[in-house]
Structure 1
């Protein structure tokens, strides 16, 4: 009976050993390494900044210099890009917050380098900046008198024209990756007939309506062309945010850090978890001058919220609250 139990224990031990050896999940757990790295297909992030008016070419309503249409065009383009679904589009409120913090809200046209800087602060891969080269309505009226009966036919024609040029800018290099142009034209005709002094002429002011329709046409073309640049944008190196997060919670398989989407963290991103092993402080102020860290593990982000992120442990043991986490390739 003793020998049978001994043999059973030995066989059980061999089976357990082989299970650890050939089962990657068990082997990883035994080594302090999490499950195999997840494959997250993350869409690239796009930010749309306010469009500018060109110095010439704006016709019709005298809107040159006005910020109303510029913001309206940018908002509409943002909404259409969201509906298109090719990219992750950053909320306009977040863009406005960054512009206000950087004192760029009323500084006029944003240069390429500044646009790229704003994009990096937003955690965007590219930013879209653009110009409204035409935005207005041309009007004409005509009257035809049919002579002896004093019949007068009055016709009013209104034509709205909107032209947009958008530039897709890399946030890492400030390079223009592509240009997307859109043109919209909508016509409207109204009028009526009078016989002598009898009758009426129904002339309709449709400027706002046809301007909106023309803008929709132009924006649809711009969105389509930006979506066509997906392969170019996808080939860009992933922009790693310059951020150091602090581990806020640790469980058996997951880590939560105190930075999130507002700091540029994205699902699928890998973070190196490091522990501070030495600090050098200013003897007068007590301020930390430099610190040395030692890598102790890696996590991959699976869920990113505005101010926090949750990661799956890929490697390492003994991770704890207060450790540092830095984005890495």
Structure 2
């Protein structure tokens, strides 16, 4: 459940972004979440008749919003344009509820409403879940809001109670910008030593596509390099992109030995990209490496990362010895 999430009910903000009249503050920074992805959950009481949900949000570059109602995907949205020139992109996602979801709200209200209840207000409440990325700020706009800014409902006027969850305590070695608020990040799925024995095995040939579903899908693997000590080699990780280009939002967050190396942004273009794997973080001398990929997919995009492979970017005799960078794994518990 979301009992441990932060209640989002503030009425004042430290941001320069105005708060909509009569609405709670939903800006991520006001609740201590300043980087990465943030999750919101809203419990809607009296949502019978709900037809449309509109969600306004603000992000940094390559932003993305995905929403679900009672676990049913409503869709995804990406901001258009070049932003405001200071590192902020804004968008409003408007989602029409499918008829079967509307019918489910009516049934839930009917079964939960006792005698004398008004307009289905006795129902147990629907749950709206929203994922927003990315919440980083431009250098000159560090007080601009990030995350959701407001929500509007058509067809019903539910009572709304919001909660928010983002990144946990900063990584003591890799720093506060290494992790965001994805469930897998909060539970160490990107770290060496995480026990993934219970995860489903995936044929590498199936990686390019994967199922088409809205959400976050994690992939983990280990590999070993044995570069001779007299050779200085530069290695990259190449993501060829989804073969289903232009089908919707697609992001791949790349972690090597727990270090966040950046994000592949697919979807509209699906162009290949190579991430340089820095020696030191990359173990090249007869040692194991852990690669973790978090794939965010929405709007019909595949849940696979596309074709993934290592490639040699260059090599030379000699070079400067590189000491391994500390890359602690997941602690027990």
TM norm structure 2:
0.27
Which one has the largest radius of gyration?
1
TM norm structure 1:
0.27
